Structure 1
Amino acid sequence: MGPDHTCGAVFVVNNPPMTSRLVKFLMLEHVRDNPLINAKEIINHFRMEYGVLLKYYFAWSGKELAIKEIHGGDTLSYHQLVWFVDSLLKTNPGSHVAFESDPITHKFVRIFI
């Protein structure tokens, strides 16, 4: 067997294949500690910590996946807001809370407390 590979299945060690899910897995605690971390800081972290050149898309997408795992999706957040309004009215009698959503699409419009 010769030293030259022609199958195309050999990866460069300095730049292994990355996925957004892998970035999310490796950066989850960092994003939890610092939710304002940006993609360039994630790229720098991968370069310094792992010696890997991470593409901007994977850094951004991995952060978005981490935020979604930490806080849940939009639907969960909406249901938590409805729960919050109900709990607020139950535990604080006499409080005024106005929660508005579109009657057709059920999308959040505004809340006044």
Structure 2
Amino acid sequence: MYYVDDVVIYIKSAGDLDIALADIEKDAADFRCKLNTRKSARFHIRQPQANDGENTSNVPTITLRETYKYLGIEKGQTIDHSGMWEKVEEAILEKTVLIFSSHLTFRQK
């Protein structure tokens, strides 16, 4: 495998997350890869505890009210998921129309 596109890590404490991220960055460096912190985020479902430690990674923390995209789908605690399938259907329809209205031959489509 030449790259890992998306990773989700579930860990109980912020301190353990820092350790896991450091391990991932170290292991990635062994393969001459690095974590893209501009496209990464930390998210706490529960309020961090005082003994969790500080964010020692370069990965920014997002709040419960913020949203983020994972695999092209907007995620977060405040999103109304009831309308999500409609958004997916709209996106698929837009791409389908774009493909079938292009000037490509049938075999290229």
TM above 0.5 = no
Say which one has the larger Rg: 1
TM-score, normalization by structure 1? 0.29
Specify which structure has the higher proportion of helix.
1
